[in-house]
Structure 1
Amino acid sequence: MIFLVMGIGIIILLTAVFRIHAFFALLIACFVVGLGVQMPVANIITVTKQGFGNIMNSLGFIIVLGTTLGVVLEHTGSTKVMATYILKRIGEKQAPLAMSITGFIVGLPIFCDSGYIVLSGLNKSLCRRTGISVIIMSVSLATGLYSVHCLIPPHPGAAAAASTIGVDYGKLILVGIAVAIPAMLVGHFWARYAGRKIVNEAPSEAPVIDLTTNTPSVLLSFLPVLVPIVLIGIKSFLSIETGKSIPAWMQIFMVASDPVIALAIGIILAFCAIHTWNKNVVGKLLQEAAEKAGGILVIIGAGGAFGAILAATQVGQHVSNAVNLQALGILFPFMLTAILKTAQGSSTVAIITASSIIQPLLPALGLDSETGRLLAVLSMGAGSMTLSHANDAYFWVIAKFSGLDMRSMLQVYSMASLFMGLTTLGVVYILSLVMM
C-alpha cells in the first residue's frame, strides 16, 4: 500500500509539477510499484507489455476511429451547422441554453477542447448579437462539452475505464448520456447565476459565421453523430442466445453495431458532407486524426500497463483488508478520481489511473456485478469532472479563446465543474439505489 501511494504520488508530481508526459509518468510508476514489492525486473517488463497490449486490443481501433470522426466533423463545418440549427429552434433569448445543448451534442464524438475551439467563433458572434455576457455564454458552451467528455465513449477516459472495469460500451453510452444531462444543466444554470455578477466586455473580434455556402445540410451534420450512438446502444440491449440461429438481417445488424464498424459508418457519413473531394485534403485529415489519436493511445496503453502491475501485486486484496471499502461503495471511485483530477489536471489521466486501482477492489466495494461495474465507471467519470482549474489544459483553452481572466474562470467555470461532479455523483447514487 505504501508503494501504491508512492506510485500515485509520482504520477501527480511528474505530470502536474514537472510537466512530464503522462505516458512516461505512468511507466515510471509501474517500476516504482513493481520494484517496491520486490517483483523481478523481467517480470515487471513482461507484465507492463501485456497490460499495454491488452488495452490496445480492446481500445485501439475505437480511439483512432472516434478521433477521426471528430476531426472530419470539424473540417466539414458540421459542428457549426448543428449549433446554428439548435439556436434557431431554441431562440436567441435562450442562447446560453442553446450553446449548452450544442456543446452536449457536438461533444459526443469530439473532444471538449477541440469542440470549444471550433465553436468559439460562433459563440463570440452570439455574444455580440444578443448582448449576453461572454462568461455566461462561454461557460455554458464549455460545460456542455465537458459533461459528455468525462462520461461517454469514445472519449478516451471513459472508454479506457470501461475496458479496464469490463463494462459494455453501448450501455455506458446510453446511461452515460442520461447521467450527463443533469450535469450539463447544472453547469448551464450556474453559468447564468454566477456569470451575471461579472461584467465582461463583448469580444473585440467576432468573426462573421457564414453558413450559406459549402456547408452540409442539417441531416448530414447530425447523422454521423447519431447513427453510431444508436447502433452501439441498441446492440447492448439485444439478448441473443448462444447457438440460436439468427436471421440474416439480424446478423448484418450485429456486425454494423460493433463499436468499430459503427464508428466507421459515422466517418463515412461525415465524409459525405464534403462537397468537393480532394485527395490532399482527405489525406491531411486522416493524417491529423492518426497523429492526434497516437498521443491518446500511448497514455491509455501506459494506464493499462499500470493496471496490470497493480493486478500482479494483488493490491486490491491488501487495500480491502486495511480499509472497510464496503461502507464507501460508490463513493470511493468518485473520491479517488476527484483527488487525481484536482491534483494533476487531466480528466483522462485521472480516470485511467483510478480505473486501474478500482478494478481489483470491485468485490470489496460491493460493485462486482454488471450494474455495479457500470456505476463504478460513471462514479469515476463524475470524479474526473471535479475540479477543473489552472492545471487543466481545457481551463486555459476556454480562457484563451473567450478572453476571460483567471478570477472569472475560477468563480464561474471551476465552481461549475465542482457542482457538475457532485450532481453526477448524486445521480449515480440514486441509480445505485434503484438498480442494485
Structure 2
Amino acid sequence: MQTFFLFALIIASVGLMVIAISKWKIHPFIVMTVIALLVGLIWGAVYPESELTPAKVVSSVKSGFGDIMTSIGIVILCGTIIGTILEKTGAALTMANAILKLVGKKRSVVAMGAMGYVTGIPVFCDSGFVVLSPISRALAAQSNVSLAVMGTALSGGLYATHCLVPPTPGPIAMAGTLNADLGLTILVGLVISIPAVVVAVLYAKLVASKIDIPANSEYTLDELKEKYGKLPGTLHSFSPILLPIVLIALSSVAAFPGSPFGTGFLYTFITFIGNPVVALLLGVFLAITLIPAQEKSHTLEWVTQGVTDSAAILAITGAGGSFGAILKLLPIADSVGGLVSTGIGILIPFIIASILKLAMGASTVAMITTAGMMAPLMETMGYTSPLAKVLVVMAIGAGSMVASHANDSYFWVVSQFSDMKTEEAYKCQTGMTAVMGITIIILLFVISLFI
C-alpha cells in the first residue's frame, strides 16, 4: 500500500508540475519549490512515523537548494558569461569559420553540424542558432542546397552538445545533482554527442533534403565577416572553452590511481586550477580579453547580461535540488530495487526525461527535474561508479532531446530562422531530435551492459 501511494504521489506531483508550467504558465522555480513542499507535507501527514515534520520539510527544501548552488552555482554563472561574450564579440563566428575551413565548403552540411557541435558547448542552442543562421543561409545559397538541410544539420549539432556537454547549464546541473565527476562528464559527453551529430547530419541529408526551401541569403560569407568588423583570432576565440575543459580534465587525471602528478605541489596546483569554479573563472577572464578596445565600455553590460541570463537557470536548478532533497527522504529506493534485475535501469532516467521534455518543452527543466528524481535511486540501482553516474547524466540528456516540438522555444527559433512552415519543422526538427535521443539511449544501453 505504501509503495502504491508513493508512486501515485510522485506521478501526481509530476503531472501537476507539467500542468502548472505548460498550461498555467507559472515559472518552474515557483512550481518546483511549492510541489517539493507539498510532497513533503503530504507524506509526513499520511505517514507520521516517517518523522517528516513541516519544519523538517522546510529545512530540507532550503538545504537542497543551497547544496546544489554550492556545487554548481558559480560554474553555471561563469559558463553563461563566457557564452554571452563569445556571441557578442563575434568569436562564435570565428569558430564557425575555422570549422568551415577545416571541413571544406564542399561538405557544407557536415560543416554546419560540426559548427553546431562546437558552438553548442558554451552557447545556448537558441542563441547559437540565431548567431550562426546567417552562415547557414549563405552556405545554402552558395552550395545550392535547401535551407531546410542546413538548418536541420546546424540545429542537431547545437542540440547534441547543449544536452550532453558541460559547461552548458543543464549538463552541469545534472552532474552536480548526481555527484558525477565533471571532467569525466565533459569527456564522455564530447564522445557520446558525436553519434548524435552524425545522425542529425544524415537525417538532414536524407529527410530534410526532400523539403525545398530557397536560401534567399542577404549576405555572402565575406559580407557577413565585414558586417561583424574585425573578428578575434581563431585560437583566441576557442581559448575560453578549451582552457577550462583542459584544466578540468587534468584535474580528473590527477585523481587517477597511481597519482600521475604525484602528491606534492604539482598535484595541489593542478587540482586547484582544475576545480570547475577556478577553471571557468579563468575562462571568463580569457573571454573578456576577446572584447576589442573600442568595445571595452560594453564589458560590464555583457557580463551583466550573462549573469542575468543565468538567473532563471540558477533558480530552476536550485528548485530541482529542493525537490530532489524531499524525494531523498521518501522510501523510493526500497520501492524500485527490483527494477535493477529487469535490466532496464538506464532506460528509466531516459523515459522520465522524455516524458517531461515532451510535456513541458524545456530541455533544461526536464534535465534538472529528472536528475533530482534519480539522485535518491543511484545507489539502489547500482550506479555508484564514476562512469555509471556519467552514463545516467547522458541518459537524462538523451531523454531531454526527445523531442523538440511546438512547446519548445528552440523549435520556433529553428523554424523561423530557417523559413520552415510548422509542418515542415515537425518533419525536420521534431523528427531529427527524436532520432538523436533514441540513437544515444540505444548506445548507452549497450554500454551499460558492460559496466
Counterpart among 225, 247, 253 of residue 210 in structure 1: 225
Alignment deviations for residues 108-162 of structure 1 (CA, whole Å, 9 cap, x no partner)? 1111111111111222222222221111001111110100111111222211111
Q: Residues 122-161 of structure 1: matches in 2 within 5 Å? A: 122-161=135-174
- State how far apart, in whole Å, the 1-side matches of 2:386 and 2:108 are: 40
* 2:251 corresponds to 1:230: no
Counterpart among 272, 280, 295 of residue 255 in structure 1: 272
Q: Residues 21-420 of structure 1: matches in 2 within 5 Å? A: 21-37=27-43, 38=45, 39-203=52-216, 205-206=218-219, 208-211=223-226, 213-239=229-255, 246-276=263-293, 278-320=295-337, 326-420=342-436
- Structure 1 alignment gaps of length 5 or more: none
Alpha-carbon offset, residue 365 of structure 1: 2.5
State the SS of the aligned residue for 2:224: coil
Q: Does the C-alpha gap of structure 1 residues 90 and 324 become closer, same or farther in structure 2, counting only changes over 3 Å?
A: closer
Q: RMSD in angstroms over aligned alpha carbons?
A: 2.1
State the SS of the aligned residue for 1:363: coil
- State how far apart, in whole Å, the 1-side matches of 2:306 and 2:267 are: 32
Alignment deviations for residues 4-26 of structure 1 (CA, whole Å, 9 cap, x no partner)? 11111111111122222111111
Q: Which moved more, 1:120-129 or 1:333-342?
A: 120-129
Alpha-carbon offset, residue 313 of structure 1: 2.2
- State how far apart, in whole Å, the 2-side matches of 1:56 and 1:325 are: 34
- State how far apart, in whole Å, the 2-side matches of 1:57 and 1:36 are: 28
- State how far apart, in whole Å, the 1-side matches of 2:40 and 2:266 are: 50
Alpha-carbon offset, residue 206 of structure 1: 4.2
- State how far apart, in whole Å, the 2-side matches of 1:162 and 1:254 are: 18
* 2:24 corresponds to 1:7: no
- State how far apart, in whole Å, the 1-side matches of 2:390 and 2:215 are: 43
- Structure 2 alignment gaps of length 5 or more: 1-6, 46-51
Determine if contact 2:134/2:217 at 8 Å carries over to the other structure.
no
TM-score by length of 1: 0.94
Alpha-carbon offset, residue 242 of structure 1: 11
What amino acid does structure 1 have at the position aligned with 2:407?
Answer: N
State the SS of the aligned residue for 1:386: coil
- State how far apart, in whole Å, the 2-side matches of 1:274 and 1:14 are: 41
Q: Does the C-alpha gap of structure 1 residues 328 and 430 become closer, same or farther in structure 2, counting only changes over 3 Å?
A: closer
Q: Which moved more, 1:195-204 or 1:415-424?
A: 195-204
Alpha-carbon offset, residue 279 of structure 1: 4.8
Q: Which moved more, 1:58-67 or 1:107-116?
A: 107-116
Alpha-carbon offset, residue 258 of structure 1: 1.2
Determine if contact 2:366/2:400 at 8 Å carries over to the other structure.
yes
* Aligned residues with identical type, % of pairs: 35
**How many residues matched?**
434
What amino acid does structure 2 have at the position aligned with 1:32?
Answer: L
Determine if contact 1:99/1:141 at 8 Å carries over to the other structure.
yes
TM-score by length of 2: 0.91
- State how far apart, in whole Å, the 2-side matches of 1:326 and 1:153 are: 31
- State how far apart, in whole Å, the 2-side matches of 1:236 and 1:349 are: 28
